[in-house]
Structure formats: structure tokens, C-alpha cells
Amino acid sequence: MAKRIALTDHIALDGVTFDSSDVRSVAFSSEDEQVNVGGFNASGVTEFLPGQRTRSVTLEVYMNRATGSIHQVLYPLHRDKTTFDFVWRADVNASVSSTNPELRGSVKLPTWNEGAAFGTEETATLEFISQASNPLEFYAT
């Protein structure tokens, strides 16, 4: 895969599309719990198996309170503990494919934070947690 500069990413939250004027960065994480199943053994080596999986997406967003903005769309979803759809594709100008997969699934936004510092852009870091009923997964079609 060719190296790229993130300029044309597509992000949709609860069906609302956000662009580079709204989102500064995106990061996906998929982590399996490590369950110790070593027990007593002659080699004295601990063995681990993958346990429960946690998937999440972290967005750094530019805070905005206008109509259709990050605050207006996402805060009510957090406040009401709503499950909603998340979509991220690296290149909005290309179709979903094996070279441009789309991450999508159902998420919740369990923590809300925002604030401002004098003379700087107002940003917030929001972590979206994947839901078991429709987990975050990369799709090539």
C-alpha cells in the first residue's frame, strides 16, 4: 500500500458526514484481553489466550456548536446513551475496496469532554466504543 497524507478521509457519525474542518485526527484500536491459561507446567512458561476484544475509535475534533456541528450531533447521543453508526474510509473519492476499506459498525460515546484555552483552537478528544451487536469491522465492499 502506498504511503498517504490524510486529506480526503470520510467520517460519518449517526449518518452525518464530517470533514477536515470538523475532524483533526482518527485512530482505530482493536485489542484482545490476554487471559493467562499457563497454570502449573514443567517448563515454567506462562501461556496466554486471547479473551474479550475491545474495539474503539478515537477522534480529535474541532469543537463547533453550529447547526449540524460536532456538539449538536454528538452531545445528545452521549447524553441519551444512544447507540449509533460510525463510518470511516481513508479516501472519500474512491470506492470501498480492498485498497480502500471502510471501517463501520455501531458505537456508543460513553465520555464527553470539551474545553478551551485562550488563543488556541478548541478541540476535544472523543472515544467511541464498539458495540457487540454490530462491532466495528473493516469492509472491502
pLDDT tens for each residue of 54-109: 999 999 999 989 998 999 999 999 999 999 999 999 999 999 999 999 999 999 99
Total count of domains within the chain: 1
76 inside domain: yes
47 inside domain: no
Residue linked to cell 480492498: 98
34 inside domain: no
104 inside domain: yes
pLDDT at 1 over 70: no
pTM of the model: 0.88
* Mean pLDDT over each residue of the chain, to the nearest integer: 94
- In the numeric block, which cell numbers belong to residue 55? 474495539
Structural domain span for residue 105: 10-29+55-139
What is the percent of the chain where pLDDT is above 70?
Answer: 99
